[in-house]
Structure formats: C-alpha cells, structure tokens
A and B are shown apart, each in its own frame.
Chain A
Amino acid sequence: MNDAPARIRRIAVALDASPHSLRGLALAAHIAAALGAEIEGVFIEDTELLRSAGLPFLREVRVTTLGESTLDAARLERELRAGARRMRTQLERSAAELGIAWSFRVWRGDLAAEILAAAVDAELFALARIGRFAPLRRPRPPRAAGTLIGVLVEHHPAASRALATAIALGRRGTANLIVVLQAADVDELESLRAQTLAELGDLGADTRLIACDADAAAALPAIVARTGIDLLLLDAASGLLARPSLWTSLEALDCPVLIGR
C-alpha cells in the first residue's frame, strides 16, 4: 500500500455517441483537467455488430422514429463514422473549454472480449456501458455539489495506485471521495482502514469509508446505488475486472468506471 502513484499523463475514455459515453466524457475531461493530463477519446466500433449486418433478413427498429430498415453494413459504418465525428467535435469542445490537450482515435474490435485493450497507453481508462451493452436507462444527472468518486481499495499492493489517484483528485477539490474497503475479515478491514486513513491524511475527515465483504461484485452495486457514486475508480488489477464478463459487472454497477493502470 505504499507504492508511489505514477504520474497520470493520459486518460482514455471509451465513446460511442450515446448519452452514457457523453457523461463519461464529461467526467473524464474534468479529471484530466484536474490532473493536468491529456484526454484521449477512443471511439469504439463493435466488430460483432458489423458482422451481423451482413444477414439480409435482419431489420433494425429506430428508437426515435420507430422506422424500420434492413441492417445494411455500409450504412451502419457510415452511421458509426458520423457518430465518431460528432464525438470528436464534442471532445474538442470539452477540451478547449477546460484547456487540456486531447486526441481522438477509432478502435474497432470485439466489444465484449477486448474492450480493455482499447486503451493500453493510458494510465486511466474511463469506461461506461456503451454499444450493445448500453442501458436503456438515461445516465444520472450530475450533482450540484460536485462529483462523488468512489474508489475500491483491496488488499493487494496495486490497490494503492487507485487510492492515490483518488486522493490527488480530492486534494484538487475536483471530487468528494468514498473509499470502499474490501476485506476478507475484520482484521484485514482494520488494517486497510488504518492504512487508508494514513494515506488520506487531512482528507480523511471529509471522506467516507465503507466496508465491503470480499465479494465486491455482489456488494458494490448496492453501495453505489445507496451513496450515489458518480464514478468508480478501480485498479486494473482489481478482481472485479477479472471476472468472465466485464460488462456484467458494469451493468450491475450502473455507473462508469475509471480503470487505473
């Protein structure tokens, strides 16, 4: 728990032109501004969706107009490009408003299996439910009192990187913090609490510490819903990300995650 935090130079954010990815972009941009990092927009094109588009009998029902059409691959690609242009413009505007450096690229791959490979060069990767995993539900509105960032602290050495990033954001006044301590037993929990408070320093007084049992996948969604966490900061080594389906975890969490490496 005493690894020095690496300097955050780049924050990647996964985009797909949905409201959820816009919300993720806004959060990531503010964090990048607070940390003095560059923001990298990664527009995701799901190859699995494009593969399906070749089937002639598939039909698409549009959400807004309820109109129907065949799922034409060429049209689908054009629409994805249009979405990418729109997100690039939005990214450019957000970066200009906040005065941060930015870059943009398109990543094409299997959304289900390879999403974490979409941003290997960034120290932080902001990911919300996007593409075919995007929820029907609209994203929660931003709170007037400031962003509430949760950070999951587990009992392994890499966990302190996520906490260090969260503390850096907390010290810059960018966010209020909730630290979720995941421990296997009471002793481990107390140890984690003491170390966390030590690292929080004067932030400790304003930070909520919440205990969570070892099965974070089951407990975290309830904590997120109860506390209204806007963004959950996880370390890439977190067990939550090691599960068979990352999207199942994200669906359960119902908030974007920021994955630290």
Chain B
Amino acid sequence: MPVTPLSPNALYRRCDPDQLGFATTAELEAGDALIPQERARHTIEFGIGIRHSGYNLFALGPSGTGKLALIRRTLEERATAEPVPSDWCYVFNFANAHRPRALRLPPGRGNTLRRDMEQLVTDLHRAIPGVFESDEYRTRSQALEEELEERQEQAMGALREMAKEKDVVLLQTPTGFTLAPIRNGKPLGPEEFHALPKKEQTRIEADIDALQAEMRKVMHQMPVWKKRSDEQIEELNREMAGGAVRSLIETLGERYQDLPAVVAYLDEVQADVVEHFRQFLPTQDKQPPFLAGWTPPNGDGPPWHHRYRINVLLGHDQNGGAPVVYADLPAHHQLVGRIEHRAHLGALETDFTMIRAGALHEANGGYLILDALKLLLQPFAWETLKRLLQAGEIRIESLAQITSLISTLSLEPEPIPLDVKVVMLGERHIYYLLCQLDPEFRELFKVAVDFDDELVRDPASALGYARFVAAEVHRAALRPFEAAAVAHVVEHGARLVDDNERLTSHMRSIGDLLREADYWAGASDHALVTAADVEQAIRARIERADRIARRLREETTRGTILIDTDGERIGQVNGLAVMALGDFAFGHPSRITARVRLGKGEVIDIEREVKLGGPLHTKGVLILQGFIAGRYALEHPLSLSASLVFEQTYGGVDGDSASSAELYALLSALAELPICQSLAVTGSVNQRGEIQAIGGVNEKIEGFYDTCAARGPVTGQGVLIPAANVKHLMLRADVREAAAAGRFAIYPVTTVDEGIELLTGMPAGTRGADGRWSPGSVNARVEARLVGFSERLRALRGGDTQAPPTAEPPR
C-alpha cells in the first residue's frame, strides 16, 4: 500500500484546557513547585532513612530538573522532626596552646557558656585587684617583707656593731658594701692609716679581714633569705588570688554540673587564673612591688583578654531541628572551616578564637547538600570530603598544611566527631565518571537518586504541570495563567522532549517560559497570561536565538547553498540535519549525492575519507553497504564502486539519521531513476531495509518547511520520516496549517521500499518465486545494474588480462 501523508491530528497532540478543570491558576492551591519525581522521591527517602556508614546520596540528572528543590524539601521535612544537634565550642587548651579543645554542649548552651565566661572575666577583673588592695593582703605581704628586711638589717646591724667595736665602719658603695677603719667617727684615709704604728696597722688589717669574712657570710645569706621570702609572698599571692577566683568559678560550675567536660574546663580555668592572676591587675605600674614585678610571658597563647573566651563554633536554636545546609561554594576551607589570622607587628597571629566553622560543622548532625561539579573543581575539596567522611571527624587543616607548602607552627584544633548525611547533586556523566575512576566513591555514596528527564504525559502529569505553574506564579509573583495558557505550556513541555507522549521534567526551562510569558502578557496589558502570550514567549525565544538558522536559509534562498525543493535528480536527495547551538536546535536540509561505477564492491563515504564523518555516520554507511550486498548481490560479486557525500558541509557530520537518505541516493544512482526534490528524508536504516527512529524529528521537518517557505509559497513539499517517529511529532502551528491545507506532507515510512517509491514515483518491486524482482521496478533496475557491473568485471578479467578493467563513466 502506498504511504499516505499523516493527518494534521498526528502532527501535534493538543492538551485540552477544559480537561484541566480550572479557569485560571488562581483557583489552584500553590503547592511546592515540584514536578513529580516519585521514583527519585522514594530513593531519597530510603537514602536519608538508612543510618549506616557510606549511605550518602548522589542525585544524578540534568541540571534544572529540580533535584536541589526536591532534595532540600524532603530533607527539611525530615530534619524538622529530628533532634537538634549539639553546640560545639572551642576553648583554650591550657596544657597545649596549639591544640584548642572542643567542648560539646546541649543545643543552646554554647552561647550561654560564652556569656557566662565573659561575665566571669569581668568579675575576675574586679575581684582579683580587690583582694590585692585589701588590708589583709597589704598587712600580710608587708609583714613578710618586714620579716625579710628585719632579718637583713639584723644581720647587717650585728655586723655593724661588731665592726664598731673594732673601730671599723660598714660603708655602702655604689654597688655594694665595704668595711673601713675609722678614727673619731671618720673613715681613715691612706695617709692617716700609714701614719699609724705598724702594729696598729697589722691589727686593723686583721680585724677588717675577720669582719670581711663575716660580711661575706651575711651577704651570701641574703639571696637565700630573699628567695625564701619571695616564695612566701608568691604563696600568699596565690592564696589571695585563689580566694577571689574560687567562689566565682564554683558558682559558675554549679550551673554546669550536668556537663562534666565543662566542669573540668572550669577547674582548669581556675588553676590558670590563679597561676596568672597578675593579668587581672589593672596595669603593671600599679602593681605593688612586692608582687615581684615580673609577668610571665604569654608564650604561644592568645592575647590575655581572649584566653578565657568561648569560641562558639556552632550554636543552635533548641527548637530548630536538624540542620540542612547547602554549600554553594564547596571549597576546602568552606567545608572544613578555617583558622583566621590577624596581622600584628608585621606577623600573622592566630588563636582558638579565630577558628571558624565550615559547612560540615554547620551540617553536623543533619544534612549537607553539595554540587558535585563545584566540589570537584575546588582543589582538594573532594579528597578532603572523602577523608573526613571515612574518618568520621572534622579536622580543620588548611590547604597549605595539607600540601606542606608551609610548615610554620599553627593551630591543630581537636577534631569534632562528624555525623552527617551528604547529598551530592550532579550530571549523570559525573556520577558515572566517579564510579569508574574513583574506587572510594561507591563506598561513600551508595545511594544513587536518578532523576527522570521526562514524565509520561497523561492527565495527572498535565495537572502536575498546572500545579507547578500555579506555584511559580505564586513564588515569582506572576500573573495567573489561563487554562489555555497552561495547556500550551504542557504542549511545550512535550515539544521540549520531542515526544507527544512525554513531558519534560526540566523545571528551569518551564519556569523560564512562565516568566517570559508573564512578561509578554504585561507587554500586551493582559491581566491573565493567555495561550497567545505563551506562544509569543516561545516564538520570541526562537527569534532571539535563530540568527544562524536564518543565515542558512538566506544563503539557501540566494543559491549559495544548493538545495533543490522541486524537480527531480538522479542520485541526489535532500537529507535533514539538526544543529544545536546552546539551548537552541534547528533543522536544515543538506544535499546528499551518490555516484556509482564499476569497482571492487566498496561504498566510499567521502565524509569518512576526509575525517569529517563521525563513527555513527560511518556505521550507517557500512549498514547500507551491507543492505545492498545482502539484497541485490547474492549470487554475484558486488562490483560496485560508489561515493556518497553531504554536499557543502564543512564541519563534522555524525549520527546515522541520514543513512536512509544516503541509501535512497545510492539506489537512485544505481537504478538511474530521478528522485523528487520536493521531498526531504530523515531516518536511519538497518541491514534489512527497515527505517528506524531518529532524534530531532520536529526540528528537521520544520527546518525543511522553513527552507521551502523562504523560497515562496509551500506547494507540495514534504518530508519522509520513520513511522516510529510519529509519536514524537509536536510540530509548529504554521507547519500543521500547511499540512492541513495539503501544501506540505509528512510521510511515515517503515521500509526503504516505501521510501523509494515515494521518492521516485516507481514501484519498489518484490522478488518473485523465481528470484527475480518485479519487472521495471526500482529493485529490478538496481539489481540489473549491479549484475551488469559484475558481468562486465568478469568479462574484463577473463577476456583480456592485458587490459585493466575500465570503470563505467560516472553518471
């Protein structure tokens, strides 16, 4: 039976606005703006419900399908009912300043502890100077000082008395003491001394020697007494400081009796404050000198006013539920946190108060959502995430530390236990690459959430679209959409996936269409968004992107690109190609020609020979070679040499959707039958001559229609498409109108024979019981030509070996 053009109804599947059940989207409840992804939803629920190690999730699917929205909503619904995670604080490590300690507190108590410690420090600044200004301290410290001085004076006084008995005086020099003989209360000079009798001089010298020995003994005792006195004063200082500190810290400790870690920390604070009580005295010059005037160096610790601070790394609201965090910039330091530095006297300093939380801290006890591509693009971020998930703890390290770029002493904060469910979002190819290339990936991300690109088109999914439109209208404050406008959106959703039985789940594209339609409604002063506004948005979007398509059509019309849309040609057919430029794809006819001659049974694909043909295209050509050999040259050697080419293509050609067109061109050349140039062809072919479905059928048909329309009124042109592609048809209104008017036809073909009959107007023919093709048919002509080639070749080889076979002149 001859193939008949498709009816207009088959070219487009309408969505009936009346079946939607509303007049405008204002009647619909604004839902969650999610296009249903039931399979993905079930997988997410499984993934977040299973609480074992490694059951993190990877949501794979094209960008814009609503992965983040669905996952975030699902996680937030669950997280609300989950317990609030602990607060985490970093505090000073009194034993090792470089390794700040982590304190875990019940939610909400981190900030309470911080405020309490700030108040404690304020109180200490008041209490400690108070005790050192007290009468008790002054009295006791002065008593100790008096004791030392009395002891020293007694010793020196006794020495002075001993000296006096022997007419010797104890003199103070600029740096010490000496003993000098006196007469009449005045020290003797050298002349006076030498005027004394020798015996007297000897006696004085002996006396002074003896007294100097005694003085030496006394003065050697003095540092010992001083040291003992200093120790007693220091003991008194500690006692006084301890008295001031104890009551304050004990009072504070009572509030944290339920938290042994905090109580232990407060004990350390108490010991440290007593050790360093001088830091709480107002200023150095106001300190009583009996405090020895010596301040211990700060060492590697933080500034003193930071030492007792609480760095609340994470403080939670007691009623907040588990956290759901989306890390929009998953750099290494954004994930694990960082240690900030301050510039001081030309150097960079840091301490535990400058430790900052990362996304993993914020999500600890809850959920962390990451974009896989962003994560992988950040240096060391992926490796760090894996390492922390495997270790089950967050260790804050800088990139410089990891890579050993610097080896200066820095902080090593105590690691914090990590309990987080990570959800990564990414394109499918990223998931498959990670599976293939990273053995640890499968261990850590055991749950793959595969988002569908398409939905089955049925009333339920159409209603889902309508709810999505209503939610977007509400969220983006758009004009309500009429039911007809929603129906057109549904139809466009089908067109986007090139399938009238499916709808796209690419929410971003639909959302963009809604906003643009709203814009055009506004431009037309419409209170509601109409179907015409939606159509205007679609058309405007195409117009914004179709510069290249227009140029191609113009050049075709001007004859620069040779395309015939009427008449007949032997060995020449209009193929159809799709070009994708960004988000915009369009079809355009391309002339395919075939030349045949006597040869060695090869079909030369010129695209492949010049390396412009892709593997799929080459495959298609080899298939049609197999088809010809299998159908026509069963008992004869295939003595054909044919060449096929896409004329005027200067870039690569791939895909097998033109293989049927190439076969028609080849058959035309072999049968020497002209092909009708008002028709264009798309479809791949198998070795049995069956026409197979191809992609981009709508763009291809519209591309040929536009080329014909650009040359004048469309009258009798058409396209041969695989019958399997009929369900994909969602053609433009002008194409449908031309088809309805009989000016343009779409022929669904299932076999090569159907196609060649349409193209040549000749019957394809069938092979009879005698093995011969119907006389005069296309197939009979092809086979006869091939047999002719074979016999000619045999004749050439058997008759005269001296002369090489000569090829038939190309036609």
Contact = CB atoms under 8 A, between A and B. Distances in A.
A137 B174 contact: no
Given A48-B187, A136-B149, A63 B212 contact: no
A136 B59 CA distance: 84
Interface string A132-150: 1111111001001000000
B172 A132 contact: yes
Contacts of B286: 144
B188 A61 contact: no
Given A61-B215, A76-B173, A144-B286, A136 B152 contact: yes
A60 B187 contact: no
A189 interface: no
Given A52-B189, A58-B179, A80 B208 contact: no
A59 B212 contact: yes
Contact of B175 (A64, A132, A136, A137): A64
B189 A54 contact: yes
A17 to B, nearest CB: 6
B272 interface: no
Interface stretch (B35-43, B216-224, B435-443): B216-224
Given A66-B219, A136-B153, A141-B289, A55 B176 contact: no
Contacts of A64: 175
A80 to B, nearest CB: 6
A178 interface: no
Interface string A162-180: 0000000000000000000
B255 interface: no
A60 B176 contact: yes
B338 to A, nearest CB: 45
A203 to B, nearest CB: 26
Contacts of A80: 174
B652 interface: no
B173 A49 contact: yes
B174 A76 contact: yes
A60 B175 contact: yes
B133 interface: yes
B232 interface: no
Contacts of A83: 174
Interface in A13-71: 16-17, 48-49, 51-52, 54-55, 57-64, 66, 68, 71
A79 B173 CA distance: 9
A61 B177 contact: yes
Nearest to B133: A144
Nearest to B181: A55
B383 interface: no
B171 interface: yes
Interface residues of B, number: 38
B152 A61 contact: no
Contact of B188 (A52, A60, A138): A52
Contact of B178 (A60, A137, A141): A60
Contacts of B808: none
A51 B153 CA distance: 26
Contacts of B205: 57
Nearest to B190: A54
A51 B187 contact: yes
Interface string B157-196: 0000000000000011111111111000111111001000
A144 B289 CA distance: 13
Nearest to B173: A60
Given A55-B190, A136-B153, A66 B288 contact: no
A109 interface: no
B289 A137 contact: no
A132 B171 contact: yes
A131 interface: yes
B139 to A, nearest CB: 12
Contacts of A66: 216, 219-220, 223
A137 B153 contact: yes
Contacts of B180: 52, 55, 58
A167 to B, nearest CB: 29
B175 A48 contact: no
B693 to A, nearest CB: 98
A132 B220 CA distance: 20
A77 B153 CA distance: 27
A71 B173 contact: yes
B172 A61 contact: no
Nearest to A70: B178
Given A63-B176, A63-B177, A136 B190 contact: no
A55 to B, nearest CB: 6
12 contacts: A16-B174, A48-B186, A51-B187, A51-B188, A52-B188, A60-B173, A66-B216, A71-B178, A76-B173, A136-B153, A136-B156, A141-B289
Interface of B: 133, 145, 149, 152-153, 156, 171-181, 185-190, 193, 205, 208-209, 212, 215-216, 219-220, 222-223, 286, 288-290
Given A58-B178, A61-B219, 14 more contacts: A51-B189, A55-B188, A61-B177, A61-B212, A61-B215, A62-B175, A134-B172, A136-B153, A136-B156, A137-B152, A137-B153, A138-B149, A144-B133, A144-B286
Interface of A: 16-17, 48-49, 51-52, 54-55, 57-64, 66, 68, 71, 76, 79-80, 82-83, 112, 131-138, 141, 144
Across the A-B interface, give the 5 residue pairs with the lowest CB-CB distance, nearest first: A54-B190, A52-B180, A62-B176, A51-B189, A52-B187
